[in-house]
């Protein structure tokens, strides 16, 4: 490890260690405030944009999940208070660094938005630096943007009220320091504690390449079972092209059989998922298939994810229903599960869900890196929008003829571009992507996949309208 980052790591360890008599370097610094004298670990200082919106800062040497110290920020009843602890760490351009912290909030309505970490890249003069240009993008048109702040995200690891916040980043080539900021903002009467802060050099993360696939086929409608069996040779062909995830269409057993959803609906797991699970195991890949599910007297439109071990990984029940399905007695789902696979996190949505940005955004909020989308047909711009606005890969599968200039079966990248698409019936469209590769655009705002999760507004409250819009 370069000597520069060794210094940073040592400082972090000191900052996290209780002040012990035999550790001279761990002696706290003294900071004066209007409320008296407060002691902070070496290098850390409380900061606010202006005094009138400055929250209260303190440090508890015995705080944190392991009693090794915690920074504490407390707001009064003002919604405008915004303050943070910050520290500068030396970094080396081109190297990778990993950030980790534990966070606990009290009376904070939206921790994802109010209790955040920012990592700001600067040069030796304290000025902003340009973003790193990925290999192959050096000669692309446009200017090189500034390196935007990073926003480490909440992980699924929580215990005793503490949530892990972390992220791994490549240091911009001209950066020599990183300012780590631990925030509490816009949280009246709220408190945020930060502990176990680590910021250190880490090996370059390995590529996470996955081959995303969609098969453009419309079942014949001879029978529900025949509809499923028609996909067997196509899935076999996709496997020969080393597909990792194969996305099939919506309500496969229902297509063309001229029956109502409740007459076709089946349990999940059940005959259809068992059949495709056997194909997934045979070819060692993941399959997403759509069908109508029956749960007692309730019928749902679902997308099911089958794993290469032949098991059902999970299912998603379509949340947004169009008129026809409502009239046919289909019930909406109410959850947005995201599933961990051996290559990454996968979210599912179905057809009409794509008309509403909330569905893809909720999946992204929960960590989805790939969204599989069986969609009978819809506006072709929606796939582009859902991929672009969330910086996720999206795999669509449609029953629309390509000549109709409507929805296509395709793989979309973080920019919303179809990087692989089916041009004819029974085409197999495959794109290999690296889930660890950051999106770069010369006019971008940075990693919007993370920023969207930190900057998104809180859910709108349902308000009963006392007066109809435009009327009395």
* Candidates 81, 148, 250, 293; catalytic one: 250
Chain centroid offset of residue 252 CA = 28
Strand-pairing partners, residue 47, are 84
Sort residue 78 into left (φ over 0), alpha (ψ -120 to 50) or beta: beta
Distance CA 373, CA 377 (A): 11
Longest dimension (CA), the chain: 81
Distance CA 449, CA 175 (A): 22
Give which of 304, 190, 302, 193 is closest to 247, Cα–Cα. Answer: 304
**Contact status, residue 65 vs residue 53, Cβ threshold 8 Å:** no
Q: Is 403 a catalytic residue?
A: no
Instruction: Return the SS3 of 235.
Output: helix
Q: Is 351 a catalytic residue?
A: yes
> Could you tell me which residues come within 8 angstroms of residue 98 by beta carbon, excluding any fewer than 6 positions away?
166, 167, 168, 169, 198, 199, 200, 201, 202
* Candidates 192, 351, 388, 400; catalytic one: 351
Strand-pairing partners, residue 305, are 288, 314
How many alpha carbons lie under 13 Å from residue 436 in its C-beta half-sphere?
12
Distance CA 449, CA 432 (A): 20
Strand-pairing partners, residue 82, are 185
Distance CA 42, CA 30 (A): 9
Give which of 238, 217, 237, 235 is closest to 227, Cα–Cα. Answer: 217
* Candidates 228, 318, 345, 362; catalytic one: 318
DSSP state of 64: S
Q: Is 250 a catalytic residue?
A: yes
DSSP state of 270: S
Structure-token pair, residue 181: 């900021």
Structure-token pair, residue 65: 């999940």
List, as one string, the DSSP characters of 294-355.
EETTEEEEEEEEE-TTSSEEEEEE-----HHHHHTT--------EEE-SS-EEEE--GGGGG
Distance CA 152, CA 155 (A): 9
Distance CA 97, CA 52 (A): 35
Residues with catalytic annotation?
A: 250, 318, 351
């Amino acid at each position: 490890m370069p000597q520069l980052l060794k210094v940073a790591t040592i400082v972090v360890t000191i900052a996290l260690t209780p002040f012990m008599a035999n550790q001279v370097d761990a002696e706290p610094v003294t900071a004066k405030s209007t409320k008296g004298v407060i002691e902070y670990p070496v290098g850390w200082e409380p900061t606010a944009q202006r005094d009138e919106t400055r929250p209260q800062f303190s440090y508890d040497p015995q705080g944190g999940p392991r009693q090794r110290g915690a920074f504490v920020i407390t707001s009064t009843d003002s919604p405008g208070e915004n303050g943070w602890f910050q520290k500068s760490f030396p970094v080396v351009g081109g190297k990778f660094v990993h950030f980790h912290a534990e966070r606990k909030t009290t009376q904070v309505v939206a921790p994802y938005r109010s209790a955040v970490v920012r990592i700001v890249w600067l040069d030796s003069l304290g000025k902003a630096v340009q973003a790193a240009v990925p290999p192959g993008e050096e000669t692309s048109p446009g200017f090189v943007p500034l390196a935007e702040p990073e926003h480490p995200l909440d992980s699924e690891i929580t215990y005793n009220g503490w949530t892990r916040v972390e992220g791994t980043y490549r240091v911009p080539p001209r950066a020599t320091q990183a300012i780590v900021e631990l925030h509490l903002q816009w949280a009246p009467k709220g408190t945020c504690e930060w502990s176990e802060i680590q910021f250190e050099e880490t090996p370059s993360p390995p590529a996470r390449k996955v081959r995303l696939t969609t098969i453009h086929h419309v079942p014949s409608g001879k029978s529900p079972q025949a509809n499923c069996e028609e996909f067997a040779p196509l899935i076999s062909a996709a496997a020969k092209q080393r597909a990792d995830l194969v996305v099939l269409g919506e309500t496969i057993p229902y297509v063309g059989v001229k029956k109502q959803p409740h007459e076709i609906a089946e349990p999940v797991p059940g005959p259809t998922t068992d059949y495709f699970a056997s194909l997934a195991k045979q070819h060692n890949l993941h399959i997403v298939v759509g069908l109508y599910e029956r749960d007692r007297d309730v019928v749902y439109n679902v997308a099911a994810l089958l794993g290469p071990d032949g098991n059902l990984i999970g299912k998603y029940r379509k949340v947004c229903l169009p008129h026809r399905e409502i009239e046919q007695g289909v019930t909406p789902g109410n959850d947005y599960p995201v599933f961990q696979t051996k290559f990454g996190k996968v979210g599912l949505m179905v057809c009409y869900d794509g008309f509403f940005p909330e569905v893809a955004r909720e999946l992204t909020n929960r960590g989805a890196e790939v969204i599989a989308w069986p969609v009978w047909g819809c506006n072709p711009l929606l796939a582009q929008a859902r991929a672009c606005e969330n910086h996720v890969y999206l795999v669509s599968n449609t029953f629309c003829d390509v000549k109709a200039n409507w929805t296509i079966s395709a793989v979309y990248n973080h920019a919303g571009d179809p990087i692989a698409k089916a041009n004819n019936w029974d085409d197999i469209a495959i794109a290999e992507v690296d889930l660890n590769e950051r999106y770069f655009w010369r006019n971008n705002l940075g990693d919007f996949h993370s920023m969207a999760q930190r900057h998104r507004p809180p859910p709108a409250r349902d308000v009963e309208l006392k007066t109809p819009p435009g009327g009395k």
